[in-house]
Chain A
Amino acid sequence: MSRPIRSVLALFWSLSILPGFLHAQKLEPIEIELPKPMFVGTPQNIRVPNLEKPLGSPRPPFLAPAGTKNVALGKPVTSSDPEPVIGELEMITDGDKEAVEGSYVELGPFLQHVTIDLGTAHTLYAVVVWHYHKQPVVYFDVIVQVSDDPEFKENVVTLFNNDMDNSAGFGSGKDLHYVETAEGKLIDARGEQARYVRLYSRGNSNNDLNHYIEVGVYGKPVS
């Protein structure tokens, strides 16, 4: 089937099916409890290309089907760095989003990743990540993937990628760099179904280490 015909059929499908789908799936803003803003100390210069402009106002509500919640809360986390510099991996899903000592895990330098096992397959609507919002910092090569394969070799869907020079080897990302804030970075999970969520990063604008305060994964179990 030619591409134009496929496109027309897809549009027809969307127009005929989508309203019913939305009617059945009542949308509500997902509830994200935010930590205290914590810009302290002397921020280092940030001169990063392709940097997203700050919104200048609170993030607009993100709509997802009713009943969507943080399904990562308390779920186990593994990492490419099993012996963090400081902190424990379980801090990433403990619900504590404060940018204070004892609330974050610091992983080693260069490319590192963490993987959250949601236990079962979920329909995912958003991933919200707080790397470290004590200072205005930019993390590099932020890549967020979901999969039903714990090894992330098959059925991998990339939700976010700002690795513009493909140094991580997952393809060149088109997403922008962004400055960490207490709001965290919300990434649209587009209704993908997966059991595992993996996040990569490669250092930040202050140093080459990698940090996570919290990762929230907003979704619903696949029924």
Chain B
Amino acid sequence: MTEEKKKPEQSGSEKKGLGRRDFLQGLATVPVLGAFALALSRDLSYERKRKAQAFSHARKRTGDVKEVKIALLGAGAQGQVLMDACLKLPGVRFTAVCDIWTEYNQRRAARMLDKFGHRVNAYEDYRELLAEEKGLDGVLIATPDFWHAEQTVACLEAGLNVYCEKEMSNTLEGARKMVEAARRTGKLLQIGHQRRSNPRYLHCYEKLIRETGLLGRITSARGQWNRAVQEDLGWPQRYEIPESVLHKYGFNSMHQFRNWRWYRGLGGGPIVDLGSHQIDIFSWFLGANPAAVIANGGTDYYAKTTHEWHDTVMAVYEYETRDGIVRAAYQTLTTNSSEGYFENFLGDQGTLHISESAGRGGVYREPQAPQWDEWVRQGYLLAPEKAGQATRADAVLDVRETIAPDRHDIPVIFNDPYHMPHLENFFDAIRGEADLTCPAETGYETAVAVLKVNASIEAGRRLVFDPREFHI
């Protein structure tokens, strides 16, 4: 693998040109000085920028950005996140919202959008929305997973482009129908694995792994998402949804409606809600789908009656990459938040530590690996913080351990809402100005990889993927 990678250019040689397209694709190629300047300017102009963004909707019509008209299905917590991000993007106009919790989620979304100058029609049933709303360009779907397939297929067949939150469906059958509908209609279907559009992740994949092979031969990967203990979500009694409405939309109680992620048949549990994002990164960065997985898990802490999916999951994937086997361990805990969430890629030349959280991340050179000075000079990495030195007089160097590596920062700063670039990619694709970073087929491959974890737990053994499973 490494011989195909770009070699560091020598000092004095012609520097690599950094094109406008690269810059626009998420600042992935900003050279180090540019990154510093960008960071500095962002800090200095933070207040001004934030306030300017708040008024961006007023500028939408005056800019040269083609307006995209959208509707939101599902105005709960994730729908709110998507709305917040969209309101910071020029040229996006909400015209309708849909949520079955009419007295709370729906009312809140409609009023909020109204205060930002988006006059929207509000619906309880998405079918009514599709029948009434004309002139839509796209739909954002942030409803519970078990609604994704039906709603996505209906929207695509109504001629609309769709951004659907992950997991694209709670069943592979549903996910398959979504892919087929996208192909049949020729409409866009973006799946909400938003890291695929994150400039930091793009830089790490494009520059550090694919272009330079900085990590050497990747032999293993590790990821986790640990969360502290949480109580079940409640609801204001005065805004309770009538039982008949809950039943109409597939919920047997208000508790189940509010905590659907834990219920079989509705969601997939934390491995799907959280792990899906990071297992997607495993496959993306390794350039392969997994060959096998073995997993263990269970509902060990919470009540099984209300937490039908596992609160604790540990899985080990095997990837057969063109450079050899890579074993990738993943865990999600919902009883302890230690070390939060991240993904690690470990190669014989270095380690990449990355997280969606901007406060985490770094690249570590193995002591025996060639120096990375030239990559630093070219802006692929920031200069290292020296490590490996004992700082305490009484500290003892354990000769059985390899000396600690230097830590390099990733030279791309990203402080915007996490979903903003992914949504922007979707809207740009609608305008014909970009290709989707996570089209239906990619989302399907990730769904195959992720849903097999729960299957392995149920089976109590290692499960092998047939490569044909990933393709439709």
Q: Which of A's residues lie within 8 Å of B, judged by CB?
A: 36, 39-45, 47-49, 83-86, 100-103, 106, 108-110, 140, 164-165, 167, 202-203, 206-209
Q: How far is the CA of A101 from the CA of B105 in the complex (A)?
A: 10
Q: How far is the CA of A203 from the CA of B47 in the complex (A)?
A: 11
Q: How far is the CA of A109 from the CA of B57 in the complex (A)?
A: 12
B115 CB contact (under 8 Å) in A40, A42, A108 = A108
A207 CB contact (under 8 Å) in B42, B84, B414 = B84
Complex interface: stretch among B1-9, B62-70, B106-114: B106-114
User: B459 on the interface (CB 8 Å rule)?
Assistant: no
Provided the pairs A45-B359, A207-B87, A208-B87 are in contact, do residues A167 and B47 lie with their beta carbons within 8 angstroms? Answer: yes
Chain B residues, CB < 8 A from A36: 231
Min distance, Cβ B422 to any Cβ of chain A, angstroms: 14
User: B104 on the interface (CB 8 Å rule)?
Assistant: yes
Q: How far is the CA of A202 from the CA of B47 in the complex (A)?
A: 11
Chain B, 191-233, CB within 8 A of any chain A CB: 227-228, 230-231, 233
Chain A residues, CB < 8 A from B48: 165
Q: Is the CB of A86 within 8 A of B107?
A: yes
A42-B356, A45-B415, A47-B415 known; 14 new pairs, CB 8 Å cut-off, are A36-B231, A39-B228, A41-B77, A44-B417, A45-B357, A47-B42, A47-B358, A48-B46, A85-B108, A85-B111, A86-B107, A102-B235, A103-B236, A167-B47
Min distance, Cβ B375 to any Cβ of chain A, angstroms: 25
**Minimal Cβ-Cβ distance residue in A for B277:** A42
Chain B, 222-255, CB within 8 A of any chain A CB: 227-228, 230-231, 233-239
A42 CB contact (under 8 Å) in B53, B54, B418 = B418
Chain B, 30-89, CB within 8 A of any chain A CB: 42-43, 46-48, 50-51, 53-54, 77, 84, 87
Chain B residues, CB < 8 A from A106: 108, 112
User: B116 on the interface (CB 8 Å rule)?
Assistant: yes
Q: Is the CB of B418 within 8 A of A101?
A: no
- Closest 4 interchain pairs by CB? A102-B236, A108-B115, A86-B108, A207-B84
**Minimal Cβ-Cβ distance residue in A for B337:** A39
Q: Which of B's residues lie within 8 Å of A, judged by CB?
A: 42-43, 46-48, 50-51, 53-54, 77, 84, 87, 104, 107-108, 111-112, 115-116, 227-228, 230-231, 233-239, 356-359, 414-418
- Of listed A43, A48, A101, A109, residue having the most chain B CB within 10 A: A101
Q: How far is the CA of A206 from the CA of B112 in the complex (A)?
A: 14
Chain B residues, CB < 8 A from A40: 227, 230
Q: Is the CB of B46 within 8 A of A49?
A: yes
Chain A residues, CB < 8 A from B51: 167, 202
Provided the pairs A44-B417, A140-B47, A208-B87 are in contact, do residues A100 and B112 lie with their beta carbons within 8 angstroms? Answer: no
Q: How far is the CA of A87 from the CA of B231 in the complex (A)?
A: 22
Q: How far is the CA of A30 from the CA of B186 in the complex (A)?
A: 65
Min distance, Cβ A163 to any Cβ of chain B, angstroms: 9
**Minimal Cβ-Cβ distance residue in A for B85:** A207
Q: How far is the CA of A208 from the CA of B49 in the complex (A)?
A: 12
- What are 30 residue pairs bridging A and B, where the CB atoms are less than 8 Å apart in the complex? A36-B231, A41-B77, A42-B418, A44-B418, A45-B357, A47-B43, A48-B46, A49-B43, A85-B108, A85-B111, A85-B115, A86-B104, A86-B107, A100-B234, A101-B234, A101-B235, A102-B236, A106-B108, A106-B112, A108-B115, A109-B54, A109-B116, A140-B47, A140-B50, A164-B47, A165-B48, A202-B51, A207-B84, A207-B87, A208-B54
Chain A residues, CB < 8 A from B231: 36
